[in-house]
Amino acid sequence: MAMMIVGAASVTEQVCRSCGGSHINTFLKLGTTPLADRLPSSIDDGEEEPVFPLSVAFCGDCSLVQITETVNPRILFANAYPYYSSFSQALLRHSRDNVLDLIERRGLHSGSFVIELASNDGYLLKNYVEAGIPVLGIDPADGPAAVASEFGVPTHVAFFTRELAESLRRQGVRADVIHANNVLAHVADTNGFVAGIALLLKDDGVAVLEAPYVEPMIDHCEFDTIYHEHLCYFSVTALDKLFRRHGLYLNEIKQLSIHGGSLRLYVELQERVGVSVRDQLAHEKAQGIDAIDYYIDFSATVDKLKVDLSTLLRRLKADGASIAAYGAAAKGATLINTVGIGRDLIDFVVDRNTHKQGKYMPGQKIPIRSTEALLEAQPDYVLVLAWNFLDEIMAQQTEYRARGGKFIVPVPNPRIV
């Protein structure tokens, strides 16, 4: 990881974030984009929105897919970070099932100890609290941490680093389970983060991580999940090398449908690599996911999706239709700013997250309103920016649909449902 000059807004990486190799091959350029979770609070606050290059590269040495720009984490995640995990029932159910499974599999009890890195608003740890199992959350975002404390989840408000892990270990902190969901891809110091996990894990402990999987990202053209918070796009091949570098072993994986296709990773200090990992490594080799050729056509596929979506929206608009959008999601910011979808096409975006309502989408500055606006304004179409929660949103919006409202799903190819 290139040295971040103090106060610098970003650095352009010259070597691989994981192995330090210099065989970095850029295969997708999305131009410069604003920060996906930095929501302007007014349409003309006169303050220029910072934009940063957004390009994706493949490492020829460890096959890690990564973006080449590192934006200062203090700019990305600290003040007023607007993401609260609990605004999705599907995510809450998903997390509860994971916890109940681990309590049973690992025989966890009141004498156990569980840590979650990027614990957000307590969406997951609260399930351990309910079961009388002691927990500690570690998360730099103070807003979500305040909500977590209402659920009896104590949070250490800080970035998780190797140094923090060393100081916690000196205080005798060791965990039976360490959770880290949708954070491994977000950390500027990937190696320090993983080394920190190894330091805090009990000898017979397990780290259970979730991260989006690069294969469905490429195969389903989920290019909108590329934004500056997401530094890495993991394959099992790249993960296996990363963990082994720190004395950790990826012993089991589960493939999940959440967030457009993710991996759940079971990582331990003892090597007992199971069939799920061996099979997936063989699958990736057979698919060529560990080589640049697999990624070469992605740019053209992205360009086609961008043209198809823009053409569809402009045709509907030309036919006199009104169009809104659902989900002020970070992935939505990438989509609207790389396709060029502005207020000329989209009247407003709705979101259940009250911390986002009243603000504007980055770049295109489309106003964000509460979901009630769909029934108040009854737009003819709604572009689903949070397509990863389509089923939940469709089930929720029965009244809007009963009145004739239609949804436009942009990924993997634009379609009306």
**Span near ligand DWN by CB under 6 A; candidates 11-19, 152-160, 341-349, 352-360:** 352-360
Pattern 58-97, Zn ion, x by CB under 5 A = -x-xx-x---------------------------------
Q: Which stretch binds ligand DWN (CB under 6 A): 117-125, 213-221, 317-325, 329-337?
A: 329-337
Query: Contact region for ligand DWN (CB under 6 A) — 187-195, 285-293, 374-382, 389-397?
Result: 389-397
Best CA proximity match to 29, nearest among 413, 259, 341, 303: 303
Q: How far is the CB of 104 from ligand DWN (least distance, A)?
A: 26
Q: Which does 182 bind (CB under 5 to 8 A by kind): Zn ion, ligand DWN, none?
A: ligand DWN
Q: How far is the CB of 123 from ligand DWN (least distance, A)?
A: 11
**Is 214 a residue that touches ligand DWN (CB under 6 A)?**
no
User: Residue 407 phi/psi, 5° resolution?
Assistant: -105, 145
Q: Residue 269's closest CA among 208, 193, 205? A: 205
Residue 21: which of ligand DWN, Zn ion, none does it interact with, CB under 5 to 8 A by kind?
Zn ion
CA–CA–CA angle 13, 263, 95 (5° rounding): 115
Burial class of residue 76 (count of CB atoms within 10 Å of its CB; 0-12, 13-18, 19+)? buried
Residue from 122, 137, 140, 327 touching ligand DWN (CB under 6 A): that is 327
Size of the site for Zn ion (CB under 5 A): 8
Residue 278 to residues 237, 248, 264, 283, 402, Cα–Cα distance (Å): 10, 16, 15, 9, 48
In 322-349, which positions are buried (b, 16+ CB within 10 angstroms) versus exposed (e)? ebbbbbbbbbbbbbbbbbebeeebbbbb
Minimum CB–partner distance for residue 397 and ligand DWN (Å):
9
Q: Which residue's CB is nearer to Zn ion, number 13 or number 176?
A: 13
Q: Which of 393, 400, 408, 411 binds ligand DWN (CB under 6 A)?
A: 393
The reply on whether position 56 binds Zn ion by CB under 5 A is: no
| Nearer Cβ to ligand DWN (192/212) | 212
Is 194 near Zn ion (CB under 5 A)? Answer: no
| Angstrom distance (rounded) from CA 281 to CA 286 | 9
β-strand pairing of 51-59 with 65-67: antiparallel
- Report how far apart the first and last C-alpha atoms of the chain are (Å, whole number): 43
Angle at 149 (CA atoms; ends 147, 153), nearest 5 degrees:
120
Q: Return the residue matching tokens 């998360």.
A: 139
The CA distance from 258 to 239, in Å, is: 19
Report if residue 140 touches ligand DWN, rule: CB under 6 A.
no
The reply on whether position 401 binds ligand DWN by CB under 6 A is no
CB 247 within 8 A of CB 197: no
Site for ligand DWN in 220-249 (CB under 6 A): 229
Single out the segment in contact with Zn ion by CB under 5 A; choices: 10-18, 308-316, 375-383, 400-408: 10-18
- Residue 133: partners with Cβ closer than 8 Å, 6 or more residues away: 103, 108, 109, 110, 112, 113, 114
Residues at the contact surface with Zn ion, assessed by CB under 5 A: 16, 18-19, 21, 59, 61-62, 64
Residues at the contact surface with ligand DWN, assessed by CB under 6 A: 83, 87-88, 182, 229, 259, 327-331, 351-353, 356, 386, 388-389, 392-393, 396
